[in-house]
């Protein structure tokens, strides 16, 4: 299927297009997240998602694995909400669990990452992060000093958050299957793409492209608007906890699905879409998903 065919495959008529297969939240930005069976969704996304982030005390920038030379070690850590407590549990390889409320949490995370960092619960005004140019990472490797772009975070989200762009990131099983079909080294473990919602669809293809500016109804009350495709950086290629490195994931998208995330943007390898929350509500695995006219 070509890019133009994939766009056509995604323009289904209004109606039920699938169901919620998985729900993910990432309490600390760029760390591994946790899968949940149900949760609430507000204008700020899934409850507890991107609640915290590390800030580099030298540069003032948000720490993100989008700059893998400096921050890929974050993807070996995991974070989970402590139900009923106002704290996030952080697991660092080879160490006892940390809690976001620990007095020594900054010191411990600084020692692990090799950078002086501060664990913050609110993004500073005009917060930015470095995004290494994906094609250069593919060419030169994760250890190389490559060009990067300065990204302002949360451009389509409420202020003070740690989202890359918008409060929700969706991907379909149809997209994952299509990437596997096109890849020389298939590996489409959804954890590489760090979505909030995985939608199970019977069709195979880059379906989400046809949803731009359209609305989704999930369950009985949650309503979303899809705003753009998700440009992929070097993150899917990196080691994610037990998942080994695999650069083929990004190479496949670069070869077969390089499109403008928005009409006036330059083409980039894309998979999945970003969405706004129009009507908050609960969400649960198994909820039907309807594409509205």
pLDDT band at residue 7 using 50, 70 and 90 as cut-offs? very low
Is the pLDDT reported for residue 237 higher than 60? yes
pLDDT, residue 14, reads 66
Nearest partner of 86 among 37, 121, 124, 42, judged by Cα: 121
Q: What is the model's pTM?
A: 0.93
| Cα–Cα distance measured from residue 130 to residue 269, given in angstroms and rounded to the nearest whole number | 18
Q: Give the homologous superfamily in CATH for domain 3-291.
A: PK beta-barrel domain-like (2.40.33.20)
If one counts every other C-beta atom within 10 angstroms of the C-beta of residue 119, the result is 21
With beta carbons less than 8 A apart as the criterion, state whether 131 and 148 touch.
yes
Q: Hey, how many other C-beta atoms are within 10 angstroms of the C-beta on 85?
A: 11
pLDDT at 82: 79
- The pLDDT of residue 187 is 84
Mean pLDDT, to the nearest integer, of 17-28?
98
> CA quadruple 11, 16, 21, 23: dihedral positive or negative?
positive
Structure confidence at residue 84 as a pLDDT band (50, 70, 90) = low
Mean pLDDT of all residues in 212-237: 97
Average confidence (pLDDT) over 143-170: 94
Ramachandran area for residue 84 (φ above 0: left; ψ -120 to 50: alpha; else beta): left
């Amino acid at each position: 299927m070509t890019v133009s065919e994939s766009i056509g495959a995604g323009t289904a008529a209004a109606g039920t297009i699938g169901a919620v297969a998985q729900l993910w939240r990432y309490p600390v930005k760029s760390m591994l997240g946790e899968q949940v069976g149900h949760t609430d969704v507000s204008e700020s996304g899934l409850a507890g998602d991107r609640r915290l982030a590390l800030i580099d005390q030298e540069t003032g920038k948000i720490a993100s694995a989008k700059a893998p030379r400096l921050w890929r070690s974050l993807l070996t850590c995991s974070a989970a909400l402590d139900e009923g407590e106002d704290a996030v549990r952080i697991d660092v390889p080879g160490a006892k669990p940390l809690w976001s409320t620990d007095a020594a949490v900054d010191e411990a995370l600084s020692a692990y990452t090799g950078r002086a960092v501060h664990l913050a619960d609110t993004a500073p005004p005009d917060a930015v992060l470095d995004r290494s140019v994906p094609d250069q990472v593919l060419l030169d490797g994760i250890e190389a000093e490559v060009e990067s772009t300065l990204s302002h975070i949360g451009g389509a989200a409420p202020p003070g958050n740690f989202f890359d762009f918008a409060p929700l990131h969706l991907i379909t099983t149809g997209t994952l299957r299509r990437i596997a079909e096109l890849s020389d080294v298939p590996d489409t473990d959804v954890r590489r793409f760090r979505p909030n919602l995985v939608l199970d669809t019977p069709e195979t293809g880059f379906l989400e492209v046809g949803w731009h500016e359209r609305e989704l109804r999930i369950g009985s009350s949650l309503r979303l608007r899809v705003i753009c495709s998700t440009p992929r950086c070097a993150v899917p290629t990196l080691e994610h906890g037990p998942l080994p490195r695999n650069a083929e994931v990004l190479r496949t998208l670069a070869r077969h699905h390089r499109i403008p995330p928005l009409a006036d943007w330059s083409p980039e390898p894309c998979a999945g879409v970003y969405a706004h929350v129009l009507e908050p509500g609960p969400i649960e695995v198994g909820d039907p998903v309807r594409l509205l006219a």
